[in-house]
């Protein structure tokens, strides 16, 4: 998960370093209330002390340490010999949050000018498991092993990950329990540069609503979607939010779902009403998932805005793809039956095929006689995607057909009313990254009688008409008015040439 981070300005460069530290402390306190993290600091504890914080207070002077390096050599660290403050990230290979924040911290360690040295300390783990994990991380970081968990125990650490800032005299300046963020790292930088400055009383901080910080959203900058439509997108540090708008009516019962396509993204969705007020937001739709959903009844008729973002928004560092859909509850489940998404005529859907997900399935309800046009486009034209449509496991409406130059358009007449399975897939041997596609099914028309010939003749009972058949005019049409129960005789005779005639009678409903 590559991360591109703006370098925060050193606190020493601020006009008032103490004020800058206090500003960051207040921001971190509010953020901790959202994330349920805790930061112990010599200037005051930040967040709600809930038993996850380290057991010793900030300001404690730590003893010397003995660690083991990657070469199994003992490393004696005398706190009196530290040239610069040290930030230590205490992690374990089995810890999901540790693994999540590791790329962010390695990027910080390797590419940022800081007022401290950044070390990684593996604890509560086996050396072999830790080394296997480190093989997949960036080279050049400083990592030690806390054998016997001695350092862990000395600060009475209670959760993984925990990140501490220690001054050059061994004083514990900051101990942050939980995943770090940019705000945490900026706070470490400010305190490391001026360890004797700053203090806050968290009880006096004005706490706003603890919702997503997304800033203003202009409807003109959003993408239109309709009920039942599925769209896909990607979020990263440059684009950490995307907006969509839809038209809703008062009383509509809607379900908005945002599903992360990559494990590195913690999805977060916000719904804004026609009056610009935030109506609802959601981080995790259920325990154990990073997907988001909103289920509500719309209060008024108008244009609604959906903001797809990530947890902690601009301050987050997760990235990856997602799919988003808004549907009414009376639509089929909304948009999914079993393992297949529901595809509706006239509503485009977008999807994302990866190494892990090579095929996406849809269900399409179609009626005998409909003529449907299937349009498939995707973002990597040199790659091929395949489309197939069939009735259950039976007859194919559209045979296995591939795109050319990123596009495919095919028409087919529905031969039987029913639920058709629509498959979009990428080749098994494809080696490119994610491929994003859009699939649209439109109705061209219905099969039935030929269109009326502008040269057709109207006849009455008893009339006789003449005409000519040639290669450029192989049919001629005549019409007459009839009454139910009439018994009629219609005859056609060739009067010249070698014409072999055929006659068809078409009823008012178009049947022959």
Judge whether 1 lies within some domain. Answer: no
User: Is residue 425 a part of any domain in this protein?
Assistant: yes
β-strand partners of 267: 310
Residue 221 belongs to some domain of the structure: no
Cβ(312)–Cβ(181) below 8 Å: yes
Token output for 86: 């040290």
Cis peptide leading into residue 69 (ω within 30°): no
Same domain, 311 and 417: no
- How far apart, in Å, do the first and last CA atoms of the chain sit? 64
Give the span between the Cα atoms of 475 and 93, in whole angstroms.
Answer: 78
* Any domain includes 210: no
What region does 485 belong to: left with phi over 0, alpha with psi -120 to 50, or beta? left
Which of 447, 478, 493 terminates a domain? The answer is 447
Boundary residue ending a domain (337, 359, 380): 337
Is the same domain home to 238 and 150? Answer: no
CATH number, domain of 230, equals 2.60.120.380
Structural domain count of the chain: 4
**pLDDT number for residue 504:** 73
Pull the structure tokens for residue 297: 């009844």
Supply the pLDDT for residue 76: 94
Same structural domain, 406 and 291:
no
Are 236 and 193 found together in one domain? Answer: no
Q: Domain range spanning residue 506? A: 450-512
Q: Are residues 199 and 231 in the same domain?
A: no
Q: Do 288 and 372 share a structural domain?
A: no
Helix (H) or strand (E) holding 243: strand 241-248
Q: What span, in angstroms and rounded, lies between the C-alpha atoms of 361 and 479?
A: 47
**DSSP letter for each residue of 55-118:** SS-TTPBPPPEEEE-TTS-EEEE-GGG-SS-EEEEEE-TT-HHHHHHHHHHHHHHHH---SSEE
Ordered per-residue pLDDT tens for the chain, 512 residues: 333 333 444 444 458 999 999 999 999 999 999 999 999 999 999 999 999 999 999 999 999 999 999 999 999 999 888 999 999 999 999 998 999 899 999 999 999 999 999 999 999 999 999 999 999 999 999 999 999 999 999 999 999 999 999 999 999 999 999 999 999 999 999 999 999 999 999 999 999 888 999 999 999 999 998 888 888 899 999 999 999 999 999 999 999 999 998 888 999 999 999 999 999 999 988 877 889 999 999 999 999 999 999 999 999 988 899 999 898 887 544 444 444 577 889 888 888 888 888 888 888 999 999 999 999 999 999 999 999 999 977 789 999 999 999 999 999 999 999 999 999 999 888 888 889 999 999 999 654 444 444 456 777 777 777 777 765 565 677 777 888 888 888 888 877 666 777 777 776 655 54
Domain boundary among 308, 337, 366: 337
Give the per-residue pLDDT at 155. Answer: 97
Q: Are residues 332 and 392 in the same domain?
A: no
Cis omega (within 30 of 0) for bond into 124: no
| Residue 17: inside a domain | yes
Q: Which pLDDT belongs to residue 5?
A: 38
Supply φ then ψ for residue 190, to 5 degrees.
Answer: -65, -40
pLDDT of residue 453: 45
Residue whose C-alpha is closest to residue 343's, from 334, 335, 351, 331: 335
State the pLDDT at residue 339.
46
Q: What is the CA radius of gyration of the chain?
A: 34
If residue 188 lies in a helix (H) or strand (E), which one and from where to where? helix 182-193
Residue 372 has a pLDDT of: 96
Claim to verify: residue 166 and residue 198 sit in the same structural domain: yes
> In this structure, are 392 and 266 located in the same domain?
no
How far apart, in whole angstroms, are the C-alpha atoms of residue 160 and residue 88?
Answer: 12
Residue 356 lies in a domain: yes
Kindly state whether residue 15 falls inside one of the protein's structural domains. Answer: yes
511, 488, 492: which is closest to 501 by C-alpha?
492
Do 236 and 170 lie in one domain? The reply is no
Same domain, 113 and 187: yes
Closest CA to 159 of 88, 55, 42: 55
For tokens 């300390």, name the residue: 121
Note whether 50 and 104 are same-domain residues: yes
Per the structure block, which two tokens stand in for 134?
């480190």
- Asked, for residue 167, whether it belongs to a domain, the answer is yes
């Amino acid at each position: 998960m590559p991360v591109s981070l703006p370098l925060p300005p050193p606190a020493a460069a601020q006009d008032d370093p103490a004020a800058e530290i206090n500003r960051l402390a207040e921001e971190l306190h509010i953020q901790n209330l959202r994330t349920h993290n805790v930061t112990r600091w010599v200037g005051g504890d930040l967040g709600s002390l809930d038993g996850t914080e380290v057991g010793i207070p900030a300001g404690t002077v730590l003893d010397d340490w003995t660690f083991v390096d990657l070469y199994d050599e003992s490393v004696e660290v005398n706190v009196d010999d530290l040239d610069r403050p040290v930030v230590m990230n205490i992690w374990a290979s089995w810890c999901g949050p540790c693994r999540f924040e590791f790329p962010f911290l390695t990027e910080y360690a390797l590419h940022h000018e800081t007022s401290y040295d950044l070390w990684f300390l593996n604890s509560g783990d086996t050396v072999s498991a830790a080394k296997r994990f480190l093989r997949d991380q960036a080279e050049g970081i400083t990592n030690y092993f806390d054998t016997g968990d001695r350092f862990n125990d000395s600060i009475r650490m209670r959760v993984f990950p925990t990140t501490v800032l220690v001054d050059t005299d061994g004083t514990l300046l900051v101990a942050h329990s939980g995943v770090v963020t940019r705000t945490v790292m900026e706070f470490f930088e400010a305190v490391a540069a001026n360890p004797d400055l700053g203090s806050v009383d968290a009880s006096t901080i004005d706490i706003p609503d603890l919702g997503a910080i997304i800033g203003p959203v202009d409807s003109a900058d959003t993408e239109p979607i309709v009920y039942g439509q599925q769209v896909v997108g990607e979020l990263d540090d440059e684009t950490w939010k995307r907006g969509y708008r839809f038209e809703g009516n008062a009383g509509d019962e809607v379900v908005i779902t945002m599903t992360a396509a990559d494990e590195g993204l913690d999805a977060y969705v916000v719904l804004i009403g026609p009056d610009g007020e935030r109506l609802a937001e959601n981080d995790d739709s259920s325990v154990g998932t990073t997907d988001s959903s909103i289920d509500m009844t719309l209060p008024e008729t108008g244009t609604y805005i959906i903001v797809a973002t990530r947890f902690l928004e601009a301050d987050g560092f997760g990235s990856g793809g997602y799919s988003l859909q808004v549907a009414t509850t009376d639509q089929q489940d909304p948009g999914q039956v079993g393992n297949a998404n529901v595809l509706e005529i006239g509503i485009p859907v977008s999807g994302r095929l990866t190494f892990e997900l090579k095929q996406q399935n849809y269900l399409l309800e179609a009626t005998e006689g409909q003529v449907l046009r299937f349009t498939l486009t995707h973002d990597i034209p040199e790659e091929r995607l395949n489309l197939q449509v069939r009735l259950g496991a039976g007859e194919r409406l559209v045979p296995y057909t591939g795109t050319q130059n990123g596009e495919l358009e095919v028409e087919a007449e529905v031969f039987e009313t029913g639920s058709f399975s629509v498959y979009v897939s990428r080749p098994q041997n494809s080696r490119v990254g994610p491929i994003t596609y859009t699939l649209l099914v439109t109705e061209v028309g219905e099969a039935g009688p030929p269109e009326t010939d502008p040269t057709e003749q109207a006849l009455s009972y008893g009339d006789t008409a003449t005409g000519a058949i040639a290669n450029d005019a192989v049919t001629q049409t005549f019409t007459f008015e009839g009454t139910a129960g009439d018994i009629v005789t219609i005859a056609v005779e060739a009067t010249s040439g070698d014409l072999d005639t055929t006659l068809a009678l078409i009823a008012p409903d178009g049947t022959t």
